[in-house]
Structures are given as C-alpha cells and as structure tokens.
Amino acid sequence: MSSEYAKQLGAKLRAIRTQQGLSLHGVEEKSQGRWKAVVVGSYERGDRAVTVQRLAELADFYGVPVQELLPGTTPGGAAEPPPKLVLDLERLATVPAEKAGPLQRYAATIQSQRGDYNGKVLSIRQDDLRTLAVIYDQSPSVLTEQLISWGVLDADARRAVATHEDV
C-alpha cells in the first residue's frame, strides 16, 4: 500500500470515527477492547497497513459500507462528483421573499460558511438541492424547474439533476 493511499484511507477512517462522535479511546471502549486506540490511530495516520479483512470488520463496527472507507470513492460509489449547480445570486435578489426566502437564507448561510461574498453566483451541491427540496416540500427535479423559471438556475441544471437522479 502506497504511503499516500494509506494516508487517504486513514483520513477516511478518521472522518467516519469523528462523524460518529468517537475518540480513539471511545472506539476502544465501545468495541470492548476489540479495537485498540493505538492500532486505530496508526491506521488513521497511515503508519500501519490495514488488511482487507480488518478494514471490512472496522467498516462493520462503524456501520458503513467498506467502499465509504476507500480513497477515490464518493458516497454512493459514483466515479466522479456530481456536477455543481450554480445559483445566480443577482437574480435571486429580485425574486419576492415570500417565494425565495428559504433559498435566500440557505444561500446566505453557505456564503457565510465559505466566506464567499462575491454576490454574483454561488455553486451548490446536489445535497444542497435535496435539502432545499425538503424545505420547499418538492422533489429536486420539481424544485429545479421552479428555480429555472425564477431565473436563479440555468436550464443546464436540468441535465445535472436528471443525471444525478438516474444514479
């Protein structure tokens, strides 16, 4: 296993562990000693090679599919990240607040988190669109059509959403 690959694998292991709110010692306690903190830590740093069997057991312990731990994979096993959707913030500002209020607040939150205040466009992920669809109580494709009709999304967004929904 290459050193870079081991480090990427370790980063994925650490991300899953921290998402679950576990410290290294927490893993040892939760597993009743099956997973030693020092061993899991060495996997995470890429200092120690993990066998396929141990990786499968660790994935099972964390309750995630093995492919979620492998470098070069994305959730759902997609070979490449889904295309980004670009919101036209200038156009969004012209949509009445009673329609676009939730989208305006969501976009402002993303801008704040990223420190991105160019004010012209904002790229969002497919997951953001799904979250917005829940907020608007619509399917992602219906919401996409609505955002296109407002002029907030380009018509090319249809392809990105359709491609992602087919996966």
Q: Residue 84: is its pLDDT beyond 80?
A: no
Q: Is residue 140 part of a domain?
A: yes
Q: Is residue 59 part of a domain?
A: yes
Instruction: Identify the domain containing residue 10 by its residue range.
Output: 1-78
CA 101, 104, 109, 110 dihedral sign is: positive
Q: Is residue 167 part of a domain?
A: no
For 8-12, 42-46, 69-73, which range has the lowest pLDDT when averaged over its residues?
Answer: 69-73
**pLDDT value at position 125?**
86
Query: Is 87 found in the same domain as 39?
Result: no
Q: Residue 83: is its pLDDT beyond 60?
A: no
Query: Is 133 found in the same domain as 73?
Result: no
For residues 155 and 125, what is the distance between their CA atoms, to the nearest angstrom? Answer: 16
Query: Is 70 found in the same domain as 12?
Result: yes
pLDDT in tens, 115-147: 877 778 988 888 889 999 999 999 998 999 999
Query: Is 106 found in the same domain as 68?
Result: no
Task: Please tell me the total number of residues recorded for the chain in this structure.
Answer: 167
Q: Is residue 109 part of a domain?
A: yes
Q: Look over the chain and give the mean of its residue pLDDT values, rounded to a whole number.
A: 85
**pLDDT value at position 76?**
47
**pLDDT value at position 167?**
40
Query: Is 156 found in the same domain as 91?
Result: yes
Q: Which residues pair with 121 in a beta bridge?
A: 88
Whether the model clears a pTM of 0.75, i.e. scores above it, the answer is no
Q: How far apart are the first and last CA of the chain?
A: 30
Q: Is residue 166 part of a domain?
A: no
Domain's final residue, options 78, 108, 138: 78
**Total domains, the chain:** 2
Query: Is 55 found in the same domain as 28?
Result: yes
